[in-house]
Amino acid sequence: MNSNHHPLHVIIFPFLAQGHIIPTIDLCKLFASHGVKVTVLTTKGNLSRFHSPLTRANELSTFLHPIQISLIPFPSVSGLPENCENMATVPPHLKSLFFDAVAMLQQPFRAFLKETNPDCVVAGLFLAWIHNVASELNIPSLDFHGSNFSSKCMSHTVEHHNLLDNSTAETVLLPNLPHKIEMRRALIPDFRKVAPSVFQLLIKQKEAEKLSYGLIINSFYELEPGYVDYFRNVVGRKAWHVGPLLLNDKNVNTFDRGSKSAIDEASCLSWLGKKSAGSVLYVCFGSASFFTTRQLREIAVGLEGSGHAFIWVVRDDGDEQWMPEGCEERIEGRGLIIKGWAPQMMILNHEAVGGYLTHCGWNSSLEGICVGLPFVTWPLFAEQPYNERLIVDVLKVGVAVGVKEYSFDPEERTVIEAGSIETAVKKLMGDDEEAEERRRRAKELAAMARKAVEEGGSSYELMSDLIRELEGLRDRRNK
């Protein structure tokens, strides 16, 4: 079958959360740049999150087939307010209802798939039923969860050796991995502690993955070669590293990447322009992270005490009582607090920024890696503690702030004192030999990342291999 006359058609359906939507947009553009016909599926309440970046991509790029957006109705669930169609708009106490609604998307999805009959479906996290529906219709499906190889390998070895139940030691060695990885037992992600509805989703996800053809991973071989090989040979699943996805688009607008910014571009650039190269610490914990009032105060005191300039992105919850008295006045000119969404990539790319205090979400971590920054690591939930070990122990570009346990609930976490925050920031932003070595290694990783997505690079070539493989599956299916 001539692919010029019959382009490969891929439908991508991401989980409805901003941290999943951003890399999905990047993945859509990557597929389209290789001549694939791409349709991204979402709901009306999430349309605005896709429309502007994909319209811009279609206008500025030379795609053979412009990226299309299709909508399916978001189900009505008793107790869940209208317009709660994205995790960012769902209060913590209503998240289980949101997941119930997401599960009800299965029926409209089945109807859509029957109507469009694509050559492949890419499923986001928590949408395990996509694989069941695709399998019923004899359509190959792939997973795209937005994580890396190392976290999946660490999770596999924890489960395979039943480390959470078989060990009572405070520190646990994760055996048989490419590097010596030790973790506080209390920091090892235990997904049994999530809400029952979410836990059931994870169980279904694991079962449905057996129907998946493989995984698309937003990483690159040179970043974690031992874990790529371990995943393929030991875990035994097909996987394609095609990242860093954000580097594939030369036309990306770093200011508008994600949601609407809470600060205008000129003000942000003006503030950064007054700072010397590498002097500013960027502090951001992602759009899904919550802290107690006490913890926010400790962060404020710690950043103030560090003596370093910083940009700190906080949730715009309308509650400012956590700010220590007089703090904003004392840090004026040295600290910039952005309440709401920040133009993260624009800030990270600025020469004034020299470090990144992060929750270790993979999108954020990869953005820091791509611009060559070292990290202060502060994992909170999901696979973030595993990402911390990659950053600190494997890549050696991070300083751990000292998180002691894993929890989705901010009330259950031990408060990180201001002194620990101050110490970690000073260590990262210092000028001793260790700090310089972290910066040198971070710059090396950024260069590797850029090379991986260029023609002939490891991720570029593997993306080409994936498309050829999907074309082969399509041709056999259509015989």
Percentage of the chain modeled with pLDDT above 90: 73
Residue 284 has pLDDT above 80, yes or no: yes
The predicted pLDDT at position 202 comes to 78
Question: In 3-state terms, what secondary structure has residue 42?
Answer: strand
Same fold for the pair 9-150+188-249+452-478 and 265-449: yes
In single-letter form, the type of residue at position 245 comes to L
The predicted pLDDT at position 287 comes to 75
How far apart CA 127 and CA 147 sit, in angstroms, is 15
| pLDDT tens sequence across 211-239 | 999 999 999 999 999 999 999 999 999 99
The predicted pLDDT at position 3 comes to 46
DSSP string computed for 150-206? HHHHHHHHHHHTTHHHH--SSEEEETTSSS-EEEEGGGS--GGGS-HHHHHHHHHHH
> Of the segments 76-85, 264-273, 284-293, 452-461, which one has the largest average pLDDT value?
452-461
| pLDDT tens sequence across 304-360 | 999 999 999 998 766 667 888 888 889 888 999 998 888 999 999 999 999 999 999
Residue 102 has pLDDT above 50, yes or no: yes
Find out whether 280 and 352 touch, Cβ atoms under 8 Å: yes
Nearest to 43 by CA among 19, 12, 75, 67: 75
Helix (H) or strand (E) holding 56: helix 47-60
Q: Report the 10 Å Cβ neighbour count for 315.
A: 16
Token pair 């395990």 is found at 128
Residue 255 has pLDDT above 60, yes or no: no
How far apart CA 67 and CA 275 sit, in angstroms, is 40
Task: Provide CB contacts within 8 A for 187, sequence distance 6+.
Answer: 379, 385, 403, 404, 405, 406
| pLDDT tens sequence across 408-420 | 888 889 999 999 9
List b or e across 169-178, with b for residues whose CB sees 16 or more CB atoms inside 10 angstroms: eeebebeebe
The predicted pLDDT at position 47 comes to 96
| pLDDT tens sequence across 122-144 | 999 889 899 999 999 999 999 99
Max distance between CA atoms of the chain, in angstroms, equals: 73
**β-pair type (171-174, 181-184):** antiparallel
- For 25, 116, 122, 201, 231, the CA distances from 217, given in Å and listed in that order, are 14, 26, 12, 21, 11
Contacts 24+ apart (CB under 8 A), 455-458: 457/220, 458/220, 458/221, 458/222, 458/241
The predicted pLDDT at position 256 comes to 53
In terms of CATH architecture, what is 9-150+188-249+452-478?
Answer: 3-Layer(aba) Sandwich (3.40)
The predicted pLDDT at position 416 comes to 97
CA angle 241, 478, 30 (to 5 degrees): 25
Token pair 């997904």 is found at 191
Residue 253 has pLDDT above 70, yes or no: no
Q: Report the 10 Å Cβ neighbour count for 150.
A: 30
Find out whether 284 and 358 touch, Cβ atoms under 8 Å: yes
Mean pLDDT of 62-84: 92
Residue 259 has pLDDT above 70, yes or no: no
Nearest to 128 by CA among 152, 161, 107, 103: 103
Is the Cα dihedral 197, 200, 202, 205 positive or negative? negative
| pLDDT tens sequence across 148-203 | 999 999 999 999 999 988 878 899 999 999 999 999 999 999 877 776 777 777 78
Domain segments of the chain as ranges: 9-150+188-249+452-478, 265-449
In eight-state DSSP terms, residue 210 is G
Q: Is 357 left (phi over 0), alpha (psi -120 to 50) or beta?
A: beta
C-alpha dihedral over 435, 437, 443, 447, to 10 degrees? -160
The predicted pLDDT at position 119 comes to 98
The predicted pLDDT at position 92 comes to 76
In terms of CATH architecture, what is 265-449?
Answer: 3-Layer(aba) Sandwich (3.40)
Question: In 3-state terms, what secondary structure has residue 465?
Answer: helix
The predicted pLDDT at position 1 comes to 37
Instruction: Tell me whether residue 339 is exposed, middle or buried, using C-beta atoms within 10 angstroms of its C-beta: 0 to 12, 13 to 18, 19 or more.
Output: middle
| pLDDT tens sequence across 385-405 | 999 999 999 999 999 999 999
Task: Provide CB contacts within 8 A for 35, sequence distance 6+.
Answer: 3, 7, 8, 64, 65, 467
Averaged pLDDT score across all residues of the chain: 91
Find out whether 418 and 301 touch, Cβ atoms under 8 Å: yes
Nearest to 347 by CA among 363, 327, 367: 367
